[in-house]
Amino acid sequence: MRILFVASEAYPLIKTGGLADVAGALPVALAEAGEDVRLLLPAYPDALDRLKDKERGAHLGDPIGVGEVKLINGRLPGGDGPGGDGPGNGVPVSLVHCPPLYDRPGNPYLGPDGRDWPDNHLRFGLLSRVAAMLGVSSETGMARPDIIHANDWQTGLVPAYLRHWGGPIPATVFTVHNLAYQGRFPGETIGPLGLPRAYMSMHGLEFNGDLSFLKAGLYYSDRITTVSPTYAHEIQTDGEGQGFQGLLRARDKDLVGILNGEDDRIWDPAHDPDIHHPFSSARLSGKALDKSDLQREMGLEERAGFMLFGVISRFAEQKGIDLVLEAVSDIVANGGQVAMLGSGEPALEEACRVAARSHPGRVAVRVGFDESLAHRMQAGCDSLLMPSRFEPCGLSQLYALRYGTLPVVRHTGGLADTVVDAGDRENGTGFVFWDPNIAEFQGALHRAMALYRQPGLWQEMQRRAMGQDFSWRRAAEGYRRLYRGLI
Ligand code: ADP
């Protein structure tokens, strides 16, 4: 099957979160399973720099009146660590080159002031439109795909354009990585995007008076997937459907949850170029050395006996960072340390800095995005905290399991599907609590700290966690089945 996979970020070209991990790994797994996959992304400066084997592609004219658009074709770098040349890399990539929209440094969604770029509707409208153009025209120099697989709101207009243009069109799959990001813009933006005004209705793109790119994906795609079975169920409920539950319930038969995988080319403690002391479930000793390295790097007291909790996260309400901050004093009082890496809401960033200043040597924070430090934290921490209010899949807990960094998670979305509570003696891999309140979270933390004081039991659980299989191969099979059903 020929598949065009379109997304707004893909590791290692550009990354702000889990979507990039998925878009950098699933196409590789599909290619390894024998599918003909191409990835489509905007030509951000970082993505252009990192693309391998660059060459000029088709000229596409000026489809939305902001400037000439052309494709730059190349291959995905990857495998055996960032920028590496190991197996599995080389998936074909096309970047949508339109300098007035994409030639901007830094974060793909936000300007230097931390706000959304004001023309994001055009930036991601164009991405969607180019994907749809590749779906209907062979003048682009590329064979037409059988399937276009679009991801999150930034690509939600793909099936809307295809529906509008009609004719023989590829089947579409739309994956929701996070329903909270809805790509909402004033209704009048529909004109410049080249879609008919009649589409601005309840039976179309309209969502509470706005145009929603996410709604377009949910409404017009042939199939909807989301990134874990539990989240697929949750988003159909009034509590968690963010206003889309009615539409999602109506499309129940077209909606499936396929659990994300974990990229063991990139996240493998035995072969991780970012850590100094490799380790494995058979030889855990390196992990203790990685822990002292991390304590030193973060300016934490270098003591093996302090249980070190880590947070690697966007600082957003979704992630329950406020619960971590509430729990910090108790963790410290019980002989623990907390290392935090993240960025996002300024108030949370500041609150983390205050926590670090209040507990020198015991609490540390790095505000920013640092892929390499994220690896050293997964390796050096004893436990990863993810008290998320909702979590479509969550990848950080999968990496934590792989690194024997037993996660403390809330029972929601993909966290519920991937972490088994320690109360299950045979299968436990972490610590699970149910309600997002401080008492329940602290209960789980105390259970973690108690088990940590029993090294034999702790190591047994670490080994079990490290042996879990969340491979992309399994996930890719799920998507292949879905694609086959569509063509
Ligand atoms: P989400 O996609 O909601 O942000 P996930 O758990 O699915 O959450 O994926 C998060 C990904 O982003 C992981 O690869 C994690 O290591 C990475 N990440 C998050 N914040 C940072 C940061 N500040 N620095 C480096 N990596 C980060």
In this predicted model, what pLDDT tens digit does every residue of 436-476 receive, in sequence order?
999 999 999 999 999 999 999 999 999 999 999 999 999 99
Question: Does residue 374 have its Cβ closer than 6 Å to ligand 1?
Answer: yes
How many structural domains comprise the chain? Answer: 2
Residue 276 domain flag: no
**How confident is the model over 284-298, as a mean pLDDT?**
98
Does 162 share its domain with 233?
yes
- 139 vs 188, higher pLDDT: 188
**Token pair listed for 214:** 């996410």
What's the pLDDT at 137?
84
What's the pLDDT at 141?
80
Query: The domain spanning residue 31 has which CATH number?
Result: 3.40.50.2000
CA dist., res. 259 & res. 30, Å (int)? 15
Does 241 share its domain with 389?
no
Question: At which residue do the structure tokens 């300016």 appear?
Answer: 299
Report which protein residue has its CA nearest ligand 1's atom 9. Answer: 18
Question: Does residue 460 have its Cβ closer than 6 Å to ligand 1?
Answer: no
Does 257 share its domain with 239?
yes
Give CA separation, 164 vs 190, 196, 327, 468, in Å. 13, 8, 52, 45
Residue 274 domain flag: no
CA of 401 to the centre of ligand 1 (A): 15
What's the pLDDT at 313?
98
Q: Which atom of ligand 1 is nearest to the CA of 177?
A: 2
Domain that holds residue 177: 2-261+472-486
What's the pLDDT at 467?
97
Does 460 share its domain with 476?
no
What's the pLDDT at 87?
44
Does 254 share its domain with 347?
no
Report which protein residue has its CA nearest ligand 1's atom 14. Answer: 18
Does 9 share its domain with 158?
yes
Q: Which amino acid is at 163?
A: R
Does 251 share its domain with 359?
no
What's the pLDDT at 258?
98
Residue 337 domain flag: yes
Does 300 share its domain with 239?
no
Residue 416 domain flag: yes
User: Tens digit of pLDDT for each residue in 327-352?
Assistant: 999 999 999 999 999 999 999 999 99
Does 236 share its domain with 292?
no
Does 450 share its domain with 480?
no
pLDDT at 385 over 50: yes
CA dist., res. 96 & res. 107, Å (int)? 17
**How confident is the model over 141-147, as a mean pLDDT?**
92
Q: Residue 138 — pLDDT band, cuts 50, 70, 90?
A: confident
User: Tens digit of pLDDT for each residue in 52-105?
Assistant: 999 999 999 999 999 999 999 999 997 544 445 544 469 999 999 999 999 998
CA dist., res. 39 & res. 266, Å (int)? 19
Residue 90 domain flag: yes
CA dist., res. 152 & res. 448, Å (int)? 35
SS3 content of the chain, % helix, strand, coil (to 5): 40, 20, 40
CA of 196 to the centre of ligand 1 (A): 37
Residue 267 domain flag: no
Q: Residue 142 — pLDDT band, cuts 50, 70, 90?
A: confident
Question: Does residue 397 have its Cβ closer than 6 Å to ligand 1?
Answer: no
Which residues are registered as beta bridge partners of 38? 4
Question: Does residue 311 have its Cβ closer than 6 Å to ligand 1?
Answer: no
Could you tell which of 109, 153, 313, 419 is best to mutate to test the pocket of ligand 1, judged by most ligand atoms within 8 Å of the CB?
313
Q: What percent of the chain has pLDDT over 70?
A: 98
For residue 37, the surrounding DSSP H or E stretch is strand 36-42
3-state SS class at 233: helix
Question: Does residue 404 have its Cβ closer than 6 Å to ligand 1?
Answer: no
Contact 415, 260 (CB under 8 A): no
What's the pLDDT at 89?
65
Residue 277 domain flag: no
Question: Does residue 378 have its Cβ closer than 6 Å to ligand 1?
Answer: no
Residue 81 domain flag: yes
**Token pair listed for 464:** 């079990």
Question: Does residue 151 have its Cβ closer than 6 Å to ligand 1?
Answer: no
Does 244 share its domain with 300?
no
Task: Note the pTM of the prediction, 2 decimals.
Answer: 0.95
Q: What is the mean pLDDT of the chain?
A: 96
**Token pair listed for 50:** 């990192």
DSSP code at position 146: S
Q: Residue 106 — pLDDT band, cuts 50, 70, 90?
A: confident
Does 299 share its domain with 160?
no
